[in-house]
Amino acid sequence: MSDQAELTRTSAQSKARLRLWLRLLGVTRKIESELRDKLRREHDTTLPRFDVMAALNRHRDGLRMSELSGVLKVSNGNVTGIVDRLADEGLVERVPVPGDRRAMMARLTELGQTVFAGQAAAHEAWIDALFSEMGADEAQAFAARLKELAEALETRGDKP
């Protein structure tokens, strides 16, 4: 290939990747904003609150604040405010960490588990409807490719 042709090919590839990124970002933001609206209107909650409850639902024995921040990749301060609020509403309780009496973990209460189960079922149904034009096979193939991309990103992450 001539230098010029190589340059054109490289630039077309770079533009295609940029367009893909802008599409990914656009679709994700659009869906996030729909989910935000629905959570607010139909469950009187927010996406950060839903994310905190989802993380605690996956870790039924509870999580320290630092673990919760790590799982959610947001700052400790934000998470603490959300957990305080959920505790006021009886959805989350603070329990001592086994073997470390000065440390506390957050854990879903029974009420919290019930409330979250309702929100999670609604969330899954919304996603199902939003992706309705994509069959199971395509969704699976798409997700698998995104997983490979995520893994490549992780590997790259070592060398900034």
Residues that bind a second copy (CB under 8 A): 9, 12-21, 23-34, 73, 124-125, 127-136, 139-140, 142-143, 145-150, 152-153, 156-157
At closest approach, how far in Å is the CB of 41 from a second copy?
A: 9
Rg (CA), the chain: 21
At closest approach, how far in Å is the CB of 7 from a second copy?
A: 13
Q: What are the beta bridge partners of residue 63?
A: 106
**Could you give phi then psi for residue 67, rounded to 5 degrees?**
-65, -40
Cβ contacts of 66 within 8 Å, gap of 6 or more: 76
Rank residues 111 and 127 by Cβ distance to a second copy and give the closer one.
Answer: 127
Rank residues 51 and 67 by Cβ distance to a second copy and give the closer one.
Answer: 51
Alpha-carbon distance 160 to 158, whole Å? 6
At closest approach, how far in Å is the CB of 2 from a second copy?
A: 18
Rank residues 103 and 139 by Cβ distance to a second copy and give the closer one.
Answer: 139
At closest approach, how far in Å is the CB of 147 from a second copy?
A: 6
Q: Where are the beta strands (DSSP E) in the chain?
A: 63-64, 92-97, 100-108
Rank residues 36 and 109 by Cβ distance to a second copy and give the closer one.
Answer: 36
Residue 129: exposure state from Cβ atoms within 10 A (0-12, 13-18, ≥19): exposed
